[in-house]
Structure 1
Amino acid sequence: MSIFYNEKERAFKLRAKDTDYMLKVINGEYLGHVYYGRKVPDEDLSYLLRFDESPFTPEQNDRDRAVYLDTTPFEYPCFGIGDYREPAMMIMDSDGMSTCDLRYVSHKIYDGKPALDGMPATFATENSPAQTLEITMKDSHAEIEAVLVYSVFENLDVIARSVRFTNVGSKPVKLTRALSACVEFDTDKMDMITLNGSWARERWVERAPLHHGKQSVDSCKGESSHQSNPFVALCAHNADEDMGEVFGFNFVYSGNFFAQAEVTQHKKTRFVMGINPLDFEWLLDAGETFTAPEVVMVHSDEGIGKMSRTFHDLYRENLIRGEYKDKRRPILINNWEATYFNFNTEKLIDIAKEASKLGIEMLVMDDGWFGHRDSDNSSLGDWFVYEKKINGGLKHLVEEVNKLGMKFGIWFEPEMISPDSELYKAHPDWAIQIKGRPLTLCREQYVLDYSQKEVRDYVYSMMRDILDNANIEYIKWDMNRQLTEVGSNFLPKERQRELWHRYVLGVYDLMNRLTTDYPHILLENCSGGGARFDPAMLYYSPQIWCSDDTDAIERLKIQHGTSMCYPCSAMGAHVSDCPNHTVGRNTPFKTRGHVAMVGTFGYELDVTRIPQQDRDMIPAQIEEFKKYNPLVRTGDHYRIGNMFEDNTWDAWMFVAKDKSEALFEFVQVMGRPNMRSRRIMLKGLDPDAYYYEESEPDKLLSGAALMNAGINVAKIWGVDGISGDFSSKILHFVRR
């Protein structure tokens, strides 16, 4: 068992591998947070609540109830009863009052893990089982019930949390805040790690010590966003990759989110995470239920690296689904940076012919194949073939590519609509809008109202016509703008603020239909690059386009940050042309391959026009990727270098679960004068085993020596007149 209940003390203990999480019914009614951290043998640590200190519990001294409520570590805090810290829940009842007071009613414990209604969530498997605790809380005055759901993974240091709200009364009530998790920490001595950035530089790592007051990250763009990722880690000041206590939080949601750490007057920290309460409301009529998305909590007592590897294991086993869950992805070539909108059937076949000779396995036709689209100012929503460009039709093109032994993939942007489209002319009311206000254009497009099943059904019918017409085996699903003027022509006024969430549920519905009806298709998500790289998307697509910035050196930071909680097997990464189309930098073709090999691997260039010496490297590059991809896809990932601290080099490792082999990758970003070789300590090996590097099979070193003494990585010098800057090398270690 993973969940224990002490009837006498009315205390709960959740054991997730080496982690314990404790809570307790206080004073017969409130639910208090007791402990979260390394496992302990004790069943009850209620003394940590300090009930013998002032302010005393209300049953002993009711005059201090408000003071007590503002200091108690509540498991799921409400607003309006004397707790002035950040609440997890707020309501507006039928009398216009916002106070809520949840009290413990009952609980149940059962094996397994429930699905969430209409939303992605982690799941239990035979190899990674779970047990679940549901605690029912109720506000008798407002007649609203909240069920706190905790699922504990037995073999991982993971607890997943969500909440269900039900109106158990006869009058309507509105949720105005419905966060998914709150955790109370009895200290302020922690750092906060977040993943922030912008388009083409997503998920850069930022770390800062907590200070008095509130520090938060959020998105109000209708998606998880380029600017902030729904991930936060709170860690000890001395925590690094390999040591120290770390608490990681990741929100399994693709819309507006909110995560905040609040250091209170008593030097304690309250952390909350969930749907962004900004502009959020949800009307609950009598008997109706609202389910909040899931927060995944990971605890590590061995630094940031162990936290990351726990997230990776969880998502690979308990979130990603489908045919490609445990399978190498096809090596593809995408025509976007090769041609942009300037292509036709002949050009695509030319690329495919050359690519097939080199060992590339799939051609992906990107934006521009539909409607009358020759630039980004038309045709979104018109998902029928642009016959003038795809001369001979889609089926003919796909068959010609298949004859070359290659698979075929296609790009869609199903959530969007162009003003210059047949769909918009027929249904202008299908765009998200506020009557009487002008619509804001972004990338010459509007957003479809996915809260409406009729809209989703129509778009999906067009997609099905395309998919049923030809042998399509991959879809790149894109979303290139955020939401503005968020209003619906179909929702009543009392439900208009539900549109933010209903939109996301609509996206999930369509993705679920797609992956159910076409289980063989590999779905890759994209949102202007990495604006929707979140765990919810991994539930539908085993890979996500990491960033529109494909420059190998820029990708070092982007992929480092992404790996904080997302597995490398999910990172869409390609070898692109030089000078790079985003930053104009030239990097060696070899380095571009090594950096892309961290992720799904593919090509984003015109293979018919690149230099011959680059073209000649592709077959060996592909064979190298195939050889090492099982390690990348299933092994433990260790970050060794850190471009955020030293931008002259980077390094990382993938180690087999049984420690039998390891792949070490190194990038020399900038050479420095008067420096000898660099001493680098490896990680994750068996200290008692002996290893040889593949190029030197007769030279054995112990795992202990490789990790504690390290290896010497010599300065890389350029060849053929090319600078040694931006050069790379890989080493493959095998256990004897």
Structure 2
Amino acid sequence: MPSVTFDAASRTYLLRTSTTSYVFGLDAEDTPVHLHWGPVLTEGQAASLPRPAAPLASSFDGAGPAEELGTEAGARFGTPSLQIAFPDGARGVDWRHLGHTIDGGHLTVRFRDAVQPFEVDLHYRVRGDVLERWVGLRSEVPVTILRCDSAAWSVPSLSGYRLSHVTGGWSAEHQLRRTGLTVGETTLTSRRGVTSHHANPWLAVDGGDAGERHGEVWSCALAWSGSWRVTVTRTPSGSAGWTGGFGHEGLTWRLEPGEEWVTPAFAGVYAPDGFGGASRRWHDHVTQNVLPEPDELRPVVYNAWEAVGFDVAESNQKELAALAARAGVELFVMDDAWFGGRTGDSAGLGDWWPNPDRFPNGLAPLIDEVHGLGMRFGLWVEPEMVNPDSDLYRAHPDWVLHMPGRPRTLLRNQLVLNFARPDVADWAHKWLHRLVGEHGVDFLKWDFNRAFTEAGRPGAADQDRLWIDHVRAVYSIMDRLRADHPHLRIEACAGGGGRTDLGILARTDQVWTSDNTDAHDRIAIQHGFSQIYPARVMAAWVTDSPNPLTRRVTPLSFRFHVAMAGALGLGGDLLKWTPAELAEAAALVSRYKEIRPVVQLGRQDRLEYGVQYTHGDQVVVLAWRGPVAHGTPLVPLRLAGLDPLGRYRDEDTGALHHGALLMSPGLLPELLPAGDYASTLIRLRALGPGSAG
């Protein structure tokens, strides 16, 4: 069981899970110093950890070991986690320990500056195999904050270090990168006001020798949906660690007397069993501690965007809904262009009422039709944006992010509404509340299609607050909507996967992984996504061939098998699918519903060219192969996590397999059709040790 203890004699704090221990202590000057993050230690072992000392090689070197929250005071020359300036010009914190509280798995350690009337609380919370950390600040005098990270993390001294993270861009999100960590500082960041397609606020570090199923891995993820920054440092002396939190360089905030400043959680995982072990701990954390409805199976979705684009009409939506229902869809979502004067991307955003030409009788006839077909009904919305060509903007041009004397940059023909303004956030909540309540909307696809620019609020005393307050307003609106409409489910979207993080997942049920629905491209996107996020939150559509984005031609079964690895959806133009394709789609949707509990609720193991899910006595394997050179052999898939003494029956062929042999040498799947873009679905059921079936 998770536990938190304090040894008064050594002034050591021990936080322990079933598989790891985290230890820090107070040095002679009351500075909180890191001591251990790794295998489980007893209280006696933790108390016996030596306080590391870094002897000064010269007057140009810094002194002392790694700290739990680095500041600028004294001989500290690494990346500071906390940069503050007091009214008299003093900077940094001279730590004085005030005490601590332990509330179950939540530890709060309190400090005060030796001179300034300024307090810092370091928060730690053990949740399963994950340690969450965050910071609280209070001051009796005005303080300028230049950087306030949620935590600094240190890893043991290793002979080498490798950094894992994801990068990419629009329609190419979550591209996994593993590179040697260079000596110096490596910054992962988003300055866009949103999590971003280009990076994601998680990372992993290992010694360069870890694999999917072996080796030590240290990993962290920030629960924040706005701009963020993580600085990873490898020193010339051989140590490594990182510090991270919300905001980015160049921003400053003002902490007023009596105010409390609280950062988002920065969570950490230690895994002794490789990258797969780290991922499964993250998946468990998201399921058990983050998602609002973790055990609810995600419905099969149909989204009409790729079928009609902006040419939305009541008639074509009803036609698509009828076909979607025949295919077994459970949730029908109408995408953009149902509202205001919206007939393209240049007008209408902000005018959230049904387009009178396209829906002369409002949305009720379509919603009634969808519900009558046995499906739930969802709508696309983009509450944080506005087109200049809209009634809203003409009435409230001051509601957008802007700076005096600067042009208002248009991206995708739209501007960003300033949700840091209470009146704007209140307006957004009211129309969303009315839309959901009056129309019986079951699902919102909440989109965000451009980054912040001219992020100012003329006249505001602390303009940079908007980078934080905007995100918190989004959180608050989502929280209120869910409280007022318990049936409502929300999908997070930002031009695809640009808002994917632990912060948004605490308010939503799934994320739109990428605007790229090409199944071949999705394999890499989903691989990177799965490093931290579980299958049940990974929305994955089956769309047309040739793919609308890449023009790649792939078999329908291949598209389905790739999308079945997450929360399955359909997004093609069903009006153009042949009767044979619609029949095959219906059969594959039915098959997905059979395996859905295993995929969405089970343990995930990434395989060499596929993925395995295990839930109870059921095992599902999805395998695929793209274009390869002629003569390239197909190697067996080595399954994982099975009972080596058990027997497993193939639910489709009746073949019996030994658990040990499925894991080594492995299973050689039959991928169909022959040639490029072949795939298969394998269903196994455990029969127990020594069973003859």
Class of the TM-score when normalised by the shorter of the 2 chains: over 0.9
Tell me by how many angstroms 1:67 deviates: 7.6
Tell me by how many angstroms 1:574 deviates: 0.8
Q: Which moved more, 1:357-366 or 1:614-623?
A: 357-366
Equivalent runs, 1:496-511 vs 2, <5 Å:
496-511=463-478
Q: Does the 8 Å contact 1:202/1:227 carry over to 2?
A: yes
SS in 1 for 2:149: strand
Q: Deviations for 1:369-412, whole angstroms, at most 9, x for unmatched residues? A: 11111000011111111110113211122112222222211110
2: distance between equivalents of 1:343 and 1:368?
Answer: 6
Tell me by how many angstroms 1:452 deviates: 1.1
Equivalent in the alignment of 2:658: 702
Count, aligned residues: 684
Equivalent in the alignment of 1:445: 414
**1:160 counterpart letter in structure 2:** E
Q: Deviations for 1:444-498, whole angstroms, at most 9, x for unmatched residues? A: 0000010011111112222233222222111100000000011013522xx1121
Choose which of 151, 157, 161 in structure 1 pairs with 2:125.
Answer: 151
2: distance between equivalents of 1:456 and 1:590?
Answer: 44
Equivalent in the alignment of 2:343: 374
Choose which of 347, 357, 364 in structure 1 pairs with 2:316.
Answer: 347
SS in 2 for 1:43: helix
Equivalent in the alignment of 1:232: 203
Equivalent runs, 1:591-610 vs 2, <5 Å:
591-610=558-577
Q: Which moved more, 1:41-50 or 1:217-226?
A: 41-50
Choose which of 25, 49, 60 in structure 1 pairs with 2:51.
Answer: 49
Q: Which ranges in structure 2 are unaligned for 5 or more consecutive residues?
A: 688-693
Tell me by how many angstroms 1:715 deviates: 5.7
Equivalent in the alignment of 1:418: 387
Equivalent in the alignment of 1:139: 113
2: distance between equivalents of 1:185 and 1:358?
Answer: 50
Question: Are 1:409 and 2:374 counterparts?
Answer: no
**1:684 counterpart letter in structure 2:** G
Question: Are 1:285 and 2:242 counterparts?
Answer: no
Equivalent runs, 1:130-279 vs 2, <5 Å:
131-153=105-127, 156-167=128-139, 169=140, 171-187=141-157, 189-279=160-250
Q: Does the 8 Å contact 2:56/2:63 carry over to 1?
A: no
Equivalent in the alignment of 2:442: 473
Q: 1:44 to 1:464 in 2, by over 3 A?
A: closer
2: distance between equivalents of 1:277 and 1:133?
Answer: 28
TM-score (norm 1): 0.90
Equivalent in the alignment of 2:690: none
Quote the RMSD (CA, aligned, Å). 1.7
2: distance between equivalents of 1:490 and 1:363?
Answer: 44
Equivalent in the alignment of 2:31: 30
Q: Deviations for 1:502-522, whole angstroms, at most 9, x for unmatched residues? A: 111111111111111112011
Tell me by how many angstroms 1:49 deviates: 2.8
SS in 2 for 1:44: helix
Question: Are 1:70 and 2:66 counterparts?
Answer: no
Q: Does the 8 Å contact 2:671/2:679 carry over to 1?
A: no
Tell me by how many angstroms 1:717 deviates: 4.5
Q: Deviations for 1:680-729, whole angstroms, at most 9, x for unmatched residues? A: 211111112111211332x33221111022112346453xxxxx211210
1: distance between equivalents of 2:671 and 2:250?
Answer: 54
1: distance between equivalents of 2:311 and 2:248?
Answer: 44
2: distance between equivalents of 1:146 and 1:731?
Answer: 54
SS in 2 for 1:228: coil
Equivalent in the alignment of 1:336: 305
TM-score (norm 2): 0.96
Q: Which moved more, 1:304-313 or 1:4-13?
A: 4-13
Q: Which moved more, 1:70-79 or 1:591-600?
A: 70-79
Q: Does the 8 Å contact 2:84/2:145 carry over to 1?
A: yes
Q: Does the 8 Å contact 2:565/2:611 carry over to 1?
A: no
2: distance between equivalents of 1:43 and 1:135?
Answer: 21
Q: Deviations for 1:350-379, whole angstroms, at most 9, x for unmatched residues? A: 111222223222221100011111000011
2: distance between equivalents of 1:498 and 1:305?
Answer: 38
Structure 1 stretches (4+) deviating beyond 6 angstroms?
Answer: none
Choose which of 507, 513, 517 in structure 2 pairs with 1:550.
Answer: 517
SS in 1 for 2:146: strand
Tell me by how many angstroms 1:676 deviates: 4.7
Q: Does the 8 Å contact 1:215/1:260 carry over to 2?
A: yes
2: distance between equivalents of 1:106 and 1:69?
Answer: 27
Q: Which ranges in structure 1 are unaligned for 5 or more consecutive residues?
A: 57-63, 112-130, 642-649, 719-723
1: distance between equivalents of 2:346 and 2:414?
Answer: 7
Q: Does the 8 Å contact 2:437/2:485 carry over to 1?
A: no
**2:191 counterpart letter in structure 1:** C
Q: Does the 8 Å contact 1:279/1:497 carry over to 2?
A: no
**1:191 counterpart letter in structure 2:** R
2: distance between equivalents of 1:24 and 1:47?
Answer: 9
Equivalent in the alignment of 1:294: 265
1: distance between equivalents of 2:115 and 2:459?
Answer: 33
1: distance between equivalents of 2:573 and 2:652?
Answer: 33
2: distance between equivalents of 1:265 and 1:45?
Answer: 29
2: distance between equivalents of 1:604 and 1:254?
Answer: 26
Tell me by how many angstroms 1:186 deviates: 3.8
Question: Among the aligned pairs, what percent are the same residue?
Answer: 31
2: distance between equivalents of 1:163 and 1:549?
Answer: 37
2: distance between equivalents of 1:36 and 1:280?
Answer: 32
Equivalent in the alignment of 2:642: 685
